[in-house]
Chains A and B, each alone.
Chain A
Amino acid sequence: MNEQVHTANLKTIAQSPLVARGIGNVKVRARNVNVFYGEKQALKNVSVDIPARAVTAFIGPSGCGKSTFLRCINRMNDTIPGARVSGEITIDNQDIYDPSLDVVQLRARVGMVFQKPNPFPKSIYENVAYGPRIHGLAQNRAELDEIVLSSLEKAGLLKEVKDRLHEPGTSLSGGQQQRLCIARAIAVSPEVILMDEPCSALDPIATAKIEELIDELRENYCIIIVTHSMQQAARVSQRTAFFHLGELIEEGDTDEIFTNPKDRRTQDYITGRFG
């Protein structure tokens, strides 16, 4: 990325309407992002600014590119054979596709939570301790304990598991497992948390707990959530982006998108008129 673009970016940030809304500066900035899986173009020219201290929801029908775009943000697409990403994505103005960038470090900064809770086949404690340990975030056992407990606390799970930290993570209920995965993501002190349909395998109570957690976490993290539930997007997010056929159709304040969307396609999708 050249210096000129840098200056231009800084200027835009200063005038960003996101700042005025109190949801922070731009954290993740995408410009003209295209993704190909072999010959097939999955994402077309996506440009968007994602605020630092807010929840941004990506919505759209299956195959619209929302998960593809989510996976661009921590370079998960690198692992898919035949996937090509072009365009620019920056986090805090740092180009994350810079060849000199350490992808492992990037994924520590950009945590991810998946649709199905996927705890490691280890104890609850080890699930959370794993990341900080491999990234060398703790000098000694006491520090590691501190990180594990505070991550479980932030994920709203500590009370439920404090007496069984050495039982397997898989012994927890689905909702608890998902919060364990969130604790695991938080443990490495990420700046951005990506969530790919984090509640689709959970019952309404477990879903409500995750949503409450998301609401608390947005004070300190930039959260991006992909969801098929319009109501969930409306409940948890401050910004919403609608994708369709690989394009970003419309993006804006969630209140506005769900009461008065500008684009006919957004309207048709969220009201169940897509045919």
Chain B
Amino acid sequence: MKEHIVRSYEEELALLDRKIAQMGGLAEEALGQAFDALEKRDPRLAEAVIESDKAIDRLQLEIEDQVVTIIARRQPLADDLRHVIAALRIVSDLERIGDLAKNTAKRALAISHEPYPRPLMSGLRSMVERALRQLKEVLDAYAERNSELALSVWREDEQIDAMYNSVFRELLTYMMEDPRNIGICTHLLFGAKNIERIGDHTTNIAEVVHYLVHGRAITDDRPKGDKTSSTLISRDRD
């Protein structure tokens, strides 16, 4: 694509993307570390994740300020307009992802001294790995303006939902087996829910990338796999 005649405008838009990449990197790191803290019962790592969320929030404010300035000074149009609007929307999703990672880290802190059923972690681990891959891919899709990649991320969120369903059922089973598991399983359940929500925010970003590239929303119906809102214990017994 041709560069803008005004070079400082070109630089401002490039800076916006560098900051989004940085913010995305921090969000990925926070998610990975929050899970490690949960799995390894590492309260110090959990604290670090909670602390690192501040940097994500700060970047959000910086990027939002920068977008407001660009709108005021440059009056962006067409793809530039979509670029700054996309940036605004993406940072708010990344900020939420940061919050959800932080919340997961807080739960890691809460249960760091509890004994826990070890096999549970494998389901959660696959969820996190998938969520991390999706997040990385959607950030790449944004950087490369690759709507195909964004669309594939968008479609694959269903996998995370399916994994969440199975973790949900598994946790219910542990809770029924031994009521002493209820406390820890509830924390893990919220942790899993956080990761499922991170998948949803990643999907939002994929939609934004599609809008950025094509100027319109994705029109297909997204496959949705999270059925836990209608799942009951009694039905599990059948």
In Å, the complex CA distance between A264 and B144 comes to 18
CB of A275 within 8 Å of the partner chain: yes
Main secondary structure of the interface of A (DSSP, over half): helix
B75 near A270 with CB under 8 A, answer no
Q: Which of A231, A261, A270, A273 is the one whose CB lies under 8 Å from B2?
A: A273
The answer to whether A258 and B81 touch (CB under 8 A), given A230-B75, A231-B75, is yes
CB of B106 within 8 Å of the partner chain: no
State how many residues of chain A have any CB contact under 8 Å with chain B.
16
In Å, the complex CA distance between A268 and B79 comes to 9
The answer to whether A259 and B1 touch (CB under 8 A), given A230-B77, A270-B77, A270-B78, is no
State how many residues of chain B have any CB contact under 8 Å with chain A.
18
CB of B9 within 8 Å of the partner chain: yes
Contacts of B81 in A (CB 8 A): 258-259
How many whole Å from A235's CB to the nearest CB in chain B? 11
How many whole Å from A240's CB to the nearest CB in chain B? 11
Contacts of B77 in A (CB 8 A): 230, 234, 258-259, 270-271
Q: Which of B4, B214, B215, B216 is the one whose CB lies under 8 Å from A271?
A: B4
Contacts of B6 in A (CB 8 A): 272
The answer to whether A267 and B5 touch (CB under 8 A), given A259-B215, A260-B215, A260-B216, is no
Task: Report the nearest A residue to B211, measured CB to CB.
Answer: A260
B82 near A271 with CB under 8 A, answer no
A271 near B75 with CB under 8 A, answer no
CB of B3 within 8 Å of the partner chain: yes
Q: Which of A234, A259, A261, A275 has the most CB of B within 10 A?
A: A259
* Chain A 166-206 interface mask (CB, 8 Å, partner B; 1/0): 00000000000000000000000000000000000000000
How many whole Å from B1's CB to the nearest CB in chain A? 7
Contacts of A274 in B (CB 8 A): 2, 5
B82 near A273 with CB under 8 A, answer no
Which parts of A227-273 form the interface with B (CB within 8 Å)?
A: 230-231, 234, 258-261, 266-268, 270-273
* Chain B 132-153 interface mask (CB, 8 Å, partner A; 1/0): 0000000000000000000000
Contacts of A234 in B (CB 8 A): 77
Task: Report the nearest B residue to A270, measured CB to CB.
Answer: B77
In Å, the complex CA distance between A270 and B80 comes to 10
Q: Which of A270, A273, A274 has the most CB of B within 10 A?
A: A273
Q: Which of B2, B76, B82, B215 is the one whose CB lies under 8 Å from A268?
A: B2
How many whole Å from A241's CB to the nearest CB in chain B? 15
* Chain B 58-70 interface mask (CB, 8 Å, partner A; 1/0): 0000000000000
Q: Which of A231, A266, A273 is the one whose CB lies under 8 Å from B5?
A: A273
Contacts of B215 in A (CB 8 A): 259-260
Contacts of A271 in B (CB 8 A): 4, 76-80
How many whole Å from B107's CB to the nearest CB in chain A? 42
The answer to whether A259 and B5 touch (CB under 8 A), given A230-B75, A230-B77, A270-B77, is no
In Å, the complex CA distance between A236 and B146 comes to 34
The answer to whether A259 and B78 touch (CB under 8 A), given A272-B5, A273-B4, A275-B2, is yes
> A259-B77, A261-B78, A272-B9 given. 9 additional CB < 8 A pairs?
A231-B75, A259-B78, A260-B214, A267-B79, A268-B2, A271-B79, A272-B6, A274-B2, A275-B3
